[in-house]
Amino acid sequence: MNFETLGKKLIVKPGTKIHLSGHDPGETAGLKDEKEARLALEKNRLKLEKLQILLNAENKRSLLVVLQGMDTSGKDSTIRHVMEGVNPQGYDVTSFKVPSTEEMKHDFLWRIHKAVPAKGTIGIFNRSHYEDVLVVRVHNLVPPDIWSARYKQINRFEWILAENQVKILKFFLHVGKAEQKKRLQERLADPAKNWNMNLQDIKERELWKNYMAAYEDALTECSTEWAPWHIIPSDKKWFRNLAVSQIIVETLEAFDMKYPTLSYDPRTIEVK
C-alpha cells in the first residue's frame, strides 16, 4: 500500500462541512494487514528520530501536534507509540486539564500560547484550546455567543503561530461509540487500569450526540490551510498510530531541512 496517500485521504479540506456519521471510525484505508502497518510504523519511528534531530539542528521552526478525541480514543497511547525512540529533550507533551484559578483570570488562549513549542522542537497537546468550543459548549459553561465567537479567534491565533514558523497538525482521533464502550469495560476489568478510572468518563457517554455535534462544528469551522484537521479512524489502534506517524513524518520531510553550515572545516580538526 502507498502510505503516502494517508494524509490526503484523512485531511479535512477547508470549507468542508463535516458529518462524522459519514466517517467510519473502523476504516483502515484499504490496509488489512496489521503486521504490515506495524512494520511501517517502525520505519516511521526511525525517520522521526532523525527528523527531530534535524529540526533541532536547523532551529528555524517548530511543529505543534494537537490531539483531540473522546475518552478512550487513544491520545496517550498515540503519543507513546508514535514518539517511541525520539529524544525526550526534543519534544514536550502538554495536557490541558480544567483551567486553574490563575488561568481563568486570562483569556482562554493565554495558557495555550505559553505552551507553544520553541523553534527546533516538537510540541504535543493532549487536549487543547479546542476544549473551549467542546466541553464548555456541551456542558453550557459559557453562553453560545461566547463559544461560537471562539472559532474565528482560534483561526486567527493559529494563523499568527503559522506566520511565526509554527507548523500545526491537528488530529481528531475518531473512535466509535461501540468501541468506546468496549474499551471502558476493559478498563473496569483491569486492576492495572481501573484504579485510575474516572467515572465521569462513563457519564460523558450520555452526551455523545452533543459531543459529536460540537466536534463536527469545530472540524468544519477550524480546518484551515495553515492549520488543517485530520480525522483519524481510531477503532483500530494500529491504523491510528500508523496514520498519525505517517502524516507527521511527511510534514517534517516537506520542510526540506538542512544542517547548519559550520564556521570551520571539521576535516581540519585533530582530536588529541
Per-residue model confidence as pLDDT tens digits over 178-190: 999 999 999 999 9
**Residue 269 placed within a domain:** no
**Residue 268 placed within a domain:** no
**Residue 133 placed within a domain:** yes
In three-state secondary structure terms, 91 is strand
* Residue-by-residue DSSP string for 220-255: HHS--SSS-EEEEE-SSHHHHHHHHHHHHHHHHHHT
**Residue 72 placed within a domain:** yes
**Residue 24 placed within a domain:** no
Per-residue model confidence as pLDDT tens digits over 116-139: 999 999 999 999 999 999 999 999
Degrees (nearest 5) of the Cα angle 143, 145, 147? 75
The HSE-up count of residue 89 (CA atoms within 13 Å, CB side) is 3
Phi, psi of 56 (to 5 degrees): -70, -40
Taking each helix axis from N to C end, the angle separating 144-163 and 208-221, rounded to the nearest 10 degrees, works out to 40
Rounded Cα–Cα distance for residues 13 and 18 (Å): 10
**Residue 174 placed within a domain:** yes
Per-residue model confidence as pLDDT tens digits over 83-126: 998 999 999 999 999 999 999 999 999 999 999 999 999 999 99
The three cell numbers locating residue 264: 570551520
Question: What residue numbers bound the domain in which 87 lies?
Answer: 3-14+32-257
**Residue 23 placed within a domain:** no
**Residue 41 placed within a domain:** yes
Domain count, the chain: 1
In three-state secondary structure terms, 104 is helix
Domain at 208, CATH number: 3.40.50.300
